């Protein structure tokens, strides 16, 4: 059981979750800055105003990465640091570019490979105000392509690019449930605007087209001289049938993955939306023009996989409500036989199940022709961690076990199943702003003391990954 000798392992973060410094050096506001100011949207009434203060502590972050032996670091750029308003005719902020250029230089000098995500949910507020942001099929893809070109030109030393992080979250949580910025939903007690039955599918389509435009720009005008690779990161959970004897539950397991992952992956690999989605959603799913399909199909050099948990899946009968986004099914933690999917964590949606990880790796590999895969996020919260004394927090054996089990499941997928896996990034390098959950939920391998100048304390899990991967990666 082993991973390839050039396997990259390290950690992942996102700009709004760690950087802070929201007004520094010409940065413009993002939709998350605005969303956090709406009462009731963030669990602890917090925001990313300071977060982990990482904009000012890049050396400290790199020293932390070096101290735990990381080979790579996946981070995202703040679009509104680079183009404060966001549009293709708006001023570019050189200070923002210079910050990221230096950070990449410093990572490379430390022998840490950068993987850059262009967009991790923090759209410039100016674009949302100007034309509705992600809802605009014409303007948004053009503005995203322009932003991508600015960055590709400025940072030629980066060889691994990700266009979008988890477009499912941007679409569903941003435009169906309203749980994430910009908070659109049909529930008028939560938002004055939104159409949960239609807007998410429009947003998903526009994200795919914007991804395709950025990839074409990279391949046409940058890759020939700079080299490198580009892909998208998609999130999805593993599935088990609630009743394995019921063919409808078995079928619903695939449908759940199709509504989460294949919504984006099928157009990229096959040029069309999944049949299960077309059947349920009909004309609420936008139709690809010939030009859009040409941009999207084939637009992945690798598959970025974010994965955390699994569910038992129970099919539903009857006509699903218009705002259903799961595929007319239930997600459960217990099977018909009473088996539990995994132990509780601080996150209501997350329960460890390492075998599910291996199963999903195989599902993706088989469906999409054995693509090159990077696991771009994987990790866990701990139930009650935020309320523990520091000494107990630093002994995070639950997280150590999670990484051990998931890494071994991944190694089996490679060595026994033939999955083409090239890298793994643990979520996250440090505790950070956990979106709508604020700072109450911790995912980091490093404890951040928000009350005392964001001081960092590596947990046991921070030290566990190097020996873990040393034991799994081929030596010659």
Assign 97 a pLDDT band (cuts: 50, 70, 90).
Answer: very high
Assign 434 a pLDDT band (cuts: 50, 70, 90).
Answer: very high
Cα–Cα distance for residue pair 157/164, rounded to 1 Å: 20
199, 229, 377, 437: the active-site residue: 377
Whether residue 1 is predicted with pLDDT greater than 90 in this model: the reply is no
pLDDT at 106: 98
Mean pLDDT of 368-396: 98
Cα–Cα distance for residue pair 262/279, rounded to 1 Å: 14
Give, to the nearest 10 degrees, the angle between helix 354-367 and helix 397-415.
Answer: 30
Q: In 37-158, where does DSSP find H-type helix?
A: 58-67, 79-82, 94-109, 125-131, 139-154
Rounded to 5°, angle at Cα 268 from 412 and 233: 55
Mean pLDDT of 181-190: 98
Mean pLDDT of 277-304: 98
**Catalytic annotation on 330?**
no
- Considering the chain, what is the average pLDDT of its residues? 98
145, 166, 199, 434: the active-site residue: 166
pLDDT at 174: 98
Whether residue 130 is predicted with pLDDT greater than 80 in this model: the reply is yes
Assign 25 a pLDDT band (cuts: 50, 70, 90).
Answer: very high
pLDDT at 476: 77
pLDDT at 448: 98
Cα 156 to chain centroid, rounded = 23
- Residue pointed to by tokens 């702003």: 433
Whether residue 296 is predicted with pLDDT greater than 80 in this model: the reply is yes
Whether residue 195 is predicted with pLDDT greater than 90 in this model: the reply is yes
Assign 196 a pLDDT band (cuts: 50, 70, 90).
Answer: very high
Cα–Cα distance for residue pair 175/40, rounded to 1 Å: 17
Q: Which positions ≥6 away from 245 have C-beta within 8 Å?
A: none
Cα–Cα distance for residue pair 268/299, rounded to 1 Å: 6
Cα–Cα distance for residue pair 357/253, rounded to 1 Å: 14
Whether residue 21 is predicted with pLDDT greater than 90 in this model: the reply is yes
Whether residue 202 is predicted with pLDDT greater than 90 in this model: the reply is yes
Whether residue 461 is predicted with pLDDT greater than 80 in this model: the reply is yes
List of domains in the chain: 8-238+259-309+351-472 (3.20.20.80)
**Catalytic annotation on 385?**
no
């Amino acid at each position: 059981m082993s991973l390839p000798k050039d396997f990259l392992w390290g950690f992942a973060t996102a700009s709004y979750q760690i950087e802070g410094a929201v007004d520094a050096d010409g940065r413009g506001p993002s939709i998350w800055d605005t969303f956090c100011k709406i009462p009731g949207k963030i669990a602890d009434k917090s925001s990313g105003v300071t977060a982990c203060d990482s904009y000012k502590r890049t050396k400290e972050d790199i020293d932390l990465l070096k101290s735990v032996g990381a080979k790579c670091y996946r981070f995202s750029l703040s679009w509104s640091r680079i183009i404060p308003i966001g549009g293709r005719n708006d001023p570019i902020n050189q200070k923002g570019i210079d910050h990221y250029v230096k950070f990449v230089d410093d990572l490379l000098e430390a022998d840490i490979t950068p993987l850059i995500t262009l967009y991790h949910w923090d759209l410039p507020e100016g674009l949302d105000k100007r034309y509705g942001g992600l809802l605009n099929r014409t303007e948004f893809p053009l503005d995203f392509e322009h932003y991508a070109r600015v960055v590709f030109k400025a940072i030629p030393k980066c060889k691994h690019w990700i266009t979008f992080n988890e477009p499912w979250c941007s679409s569903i949580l941003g435009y169906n449930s309203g749980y994430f910025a910009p908070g659109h939903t049909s529930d008028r007690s939560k938002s004055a605007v939104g159409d949960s039955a239609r807007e998410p599918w429009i947003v998903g389509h526009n994200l795919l087209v914007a991804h395709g435009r950025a990839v074409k720009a990279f391949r046409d005008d940058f890759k020939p001289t700079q080299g490198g690779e580009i892909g998208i990161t998609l999130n999805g959970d593993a599935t088990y049938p609630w009743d394995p004897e019921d063919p409808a539950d078995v079928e619903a397991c695939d449908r759940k993955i199709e509504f989460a992952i294949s919504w984006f992956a099928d157009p990229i690999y096959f040029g069309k939306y999944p049949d299960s989605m077309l059947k349920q959603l009909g004309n609420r799913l936008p139709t690809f023009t010939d030009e859009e399909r040409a941009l999207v199909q084939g637009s992945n050099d690798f598959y970025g996989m974010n994965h955390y948990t699994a569910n038992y899946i129970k099919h539903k009968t009857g006509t699903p409500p218009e705002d259903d986004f799961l595929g007319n099914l239930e997600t459960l933690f217990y099977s018909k036989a009473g088996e539990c999917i995994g132990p509780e964590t601080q996150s209501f949606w997350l329960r460890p199940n390492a075998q599910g990880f291996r199963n999903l790796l195989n599902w993706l590999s088989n469906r999409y022709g054995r693509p090159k895969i990077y696991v771009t996020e994987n990790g866990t919260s701990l139930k009650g961690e935020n309320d523990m004394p520091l000494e107990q927090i630093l002994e995070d054996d639950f997280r150590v076990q999670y990484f051990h089990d998931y890494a071994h499941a991944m190694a089996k997928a490679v060595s026994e199943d033939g999955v083409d896996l090239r890298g793994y990034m643990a979520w996250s390098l440090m505790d950070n702003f956990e979106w709508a959950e604020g700072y109450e939920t911790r995912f980091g391998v490093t404890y951040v003391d928000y009350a005392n100048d964001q001081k960092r304390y590596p947990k046991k899990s921070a030290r566990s990954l190097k020996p873990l991967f040393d034991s799994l990666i081929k030596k010659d």
